[in-house]
Chain A
């Protein structure tokens, strides 16, 4: 891996430079700090044929799938938390709209372990999982391995190695070091597993204060681009900045249920909200 140095770019330029059609892309954030603004920029730039990796596709991948960005989804829990279905994901899987969607389905334990393996430079993750579950029957990328020391049969899944990982964080300093705190999810593993990484942040500060609970620092040399996007995780949340918009998550059910209603919402809140489509280099 060559050393990189974080460069401050506009979100539009960061996505234009580092995300390509057909890429394997991970937008992570476990309920907290979901990079919605970056996902919306991918939709505005018309990127297609993406393989999308995320533990919980959440509303952001529901929107990207409904807009035709994805050819494949790698995931472990595809619902609207506490509300019900992701209707755009279901429409793609059940009826192939707007395009058929290949799925590679895991459990959370497998997805987390696959990111950790990617960050560790290993080809696969080994863990005690999938015992008795039919997921191992329908997903050919779940395999079994015998422990060479004890003989215990363990599950193995390939490491996640995204072409690009995008995460949202609370702060960057002026050199591009990144601070994440609160529920830190799998962001560190997802960034370190990726070939390229984009981070959107709430703000740039002189000094990253890392006291307090479970702050994670990603050094600037693990990140390619930093884009300052206040509110970039809404309607998910940024601990210390704004709360999760639970009422919007509830309302999404009605918006996403109907194809036309969904398209109108995308047009109004994503396409027209942008600053125009970047010229792709």
Chain B
């Protein structure tokens, strides 16, 4: 069964989640992966969105972080202040699932600007919840499409802390959480080196070469000693993902405004 690189990425990201996780979900690619996990191998996976929805089980993917679908299918919905103070800052979340415009070799993320902060070439949306998700969750998974402009030698701006500019800043800041432990792209998966915290390729998706990953990474990417091949999508995973995306497209397809 043929599949796209984006489908492979979403499925590989979904596989990282388990029934025991309590996951703080970012919008976009993370949301697709988290809901796919819930619809396939991890039906008891707990999803929370920053709009305050606890244990939400949306039938279609939300376009925004606060679609009504998230509230209607949630166990409970709490105020946003409470979401950030009690549930996130209070240490209740095991996995934060994030994306961004740029990531560096230590899993630090930029979602703020391209260019200089005060005279940006591109003004990006900004932190949202990400800055504190990155430090308060037990660990962080990152999902992003591979490309040399996204996987950069040096971030234009550090919005959300990974392992820090030298890979060693979390401990110095007194953080007891693990930080990013997985990056999933449309080419490969990466895990941090246990000594240096530098992200290295752990598995290549089927058909992808080491040269391709090098070409699309802005720093001299290293590879773990044992680089596996990512298991290709199963028919069940693909069917569940495609059903979810088709339902979502139908749900968001029509406008009654203006």
Interface residues of B in 226-258 (CB under 8 A from A): 251-258
Of A138, A183, A188, which one neighbours B117 at CB under 8 angstroms? Answer: A138
A11: B residues at CB distance < 8 A: none
Minimum CB–CB distance for B150 against chain A, Å: 15
Q: Which listed segment binds B: A81-89, A169-177, A201-209?
A: A81-89
Interface residues of A in 123-142 (CB under 8 A from B): 127-135, 138
Whether, in the assembled complex, A279 has its beta carbon less than 8 Å from a beta carbon of chain B, the answer is: no
Chain B interface, DSSP helix/strand/loop, else mixed = loop
Query: Is A77's CB under 8 angstroms from B80's CB?
Result: no
Of B79, B127, B158, B161, which one neighbours A188 at CB under 8 angstroms? Answer: B79
Chain B, residues 101-118, CB within 8 Å of chain A (1/0): the string is 000000010001000011
Query: Is B52's CB under 8 angstroms from A131's CB?
Result: no
In the bound complex, CA of A239 to CA of B74 (Å): 14
B71: A residues at CB distance < 8 A: 32, 182-183, 239
Q: Which listed segment binds A: B33-41, B92-100, B129-137, B193-201?
A: B129-137
Known contacts A113-B85, A153-B174, A214-B76: does B123 contact A90 (CB below 8 Å)?
A: yes
Nearest chain-A residue to B62 (Cβ)?
Answer: A82
Nearest chain-A residue to B253 (Cβ)?
Answer: A247
Contact residues on B (Cβ < 8 Å of other chain), bracket: 35 or more
Of B78, B123, B127, which one neighbours A76 at CB under 8 angstroms? Answer: B127
Interface residues of B in 59-77 (CB under 8 A from A): 62-68, 70-71, 76-77
Of A105, A113, A134, which one neighbours B81 at CB under 8 angstroms? Answer: A113
B223: A residues at CB distance < 8 A: none
A250: B residues at CB distance < 8 A: 63, 252, 255
Minimum CB–CB distance for A85 against chain B, Å: 7
Of A78, A132, A247, which one neighbours B123 at CB under 8 angstroms? Answer: A78
Nearest chain-B residue to A185 (Cβ)?
Answer: B80
Kindly count the residue-residue contacts between A and B in the assembled complex, taking CB atoms under 8 Å apart.
204
Query: Is A132's CB under 8 angstroms from B68's CB?
Result: no
Chain A, residues 229-248, CB within 8 Å of chain B (1/0): the string is 00000110101000111111
Query: Is A185's CB under 8 angstroms from B52's CB?
Result: yes
Query: Is B80's CB under 8 angstroms from A130's CB?
Result: no
Known contacts A112-B85, A247-B255, A248-B258: does B123 contact A133 (CB below 8 Å)?
A: no
Query: Is B257's CB under 8 angstroms from A235's CB?
Result: yes
Minimum CB–CB distance for A247 against chain B, Å: 3
Whether, in the assembled complex, B175 has its beta carbon less than 8 Å from a beta carbon of chain A, the answer is: yes
In the bound complex, CA of A209 to CA of B150 (Å): 50
Query: Is A109's CB under 8 angstroms from B68's CB?
Result: no
Of B66, B85, B255, which one neighbours A32 at CB under 8 angstroms? Answer: B66
B126: A residues at CB distance < 8 A: 75-79, 105
Query: Is B128's CB under 8 angstroms from A76's CB?
Result: yes
Minimum CB–CB distance for B102 against chain A, Å: 12
Nearest chain-A residue to B254 (Cβ)?
Answer: A247
Query: Is A248's CB under 8 angstroms from B257's CB?
Result: yes
Whether, in the assembled complex, B28 has its beta carbon less than 8 Å from a beta carbon of chain A, the answer is: yes
Contact residues on A (Cβ < 8 Å of other chain), bracket: 35 or more
B118: A residues at CB distance < 8 A: 138
Whether, in the assembled complex, B181 has its beta carbon less than 8 Å from a beta carbon of chain A, the answer is: no
Interface residues of A in 173-232 (CB under 8 A from B): 182-186, 188-189, 213-214, 216
Of A79, A135, A185, A213, which one neighbours B125 at CB under 8 angstroms? Answer: A79
Nearest chain-A residue to B53 (Cβ)?
Answer: A183
Nearest chain-A residue to B158 (Cβ)?
Answer: A134
B123: A residues at CB distance < 8 A: 78, 85, 89-90, 93-94
Query: Is B128's CB under 8 angstroms from A107's CB?
Result: yes
In the bound complex, CA of A36 to CA of B226 (Å): 55
B55: A residues at CB distance < 8 A: none
Query: Is A93's CB under 8 angstroms from B70's CB?
Result: no
Minimum CB–CB distance for B67 against chain A, Å: 6
Whether, in the assembled complex, A168 has its beta carbon less than 8 Å from a beta carbon of chain B, the answer is: no
Known contacts A32-B68, A94-B120: does B129 contact A107 (CB below 8 Å)?
A: yes
Query: Is A133's CB under 8 angstroms from B159's CB?
Result: yes
Of A129, A235, A239, A244, which one neighbours B131 at CB under 8 angstroms? Answer: A129
A128: B residues at CB distance < 8 A: 89, 132, 135-136
Query: Is B128's CB under 8 angstroms from A77's CB?
Result: yes
Instruction: List 13 contacting pairs A-B, 8 Å CB cutoff, sorted by A.
Output: A31-B67, A75-B126, A79-B124, A79-B126, A85-B125, A93-B123, A112-B85, A130-B131, A133-B159, A133-B160, A184-B77, A185-B80, A249-B63
Q: What are the nearest 8 A-B pairs in CB distance?
A: A31-B66, A247-B255, A79-B125, A132-B161, A81-B64, A77-B128, A82-B63, A248-B257
Binding site for A on B (CB under 8 A): 27-28, 50-53, 62-68, 70-71, 76-81, 83-85, 88-89, 108, 112, 117-118, 120-132, 135-136, 157-161, 164, 169-170, 173-175, 251-258
Binding site for B on A (CB under 8 A): 30-32, 55-56, 75-79, 81-83, 85-86, 89-90, 93-94, 105-109, 112-113, 115-116, 127-135, 138, 152-153, 182-186, 188-189, 213-214, 216, 234-235, 237, 239, 243-251, 265, 269
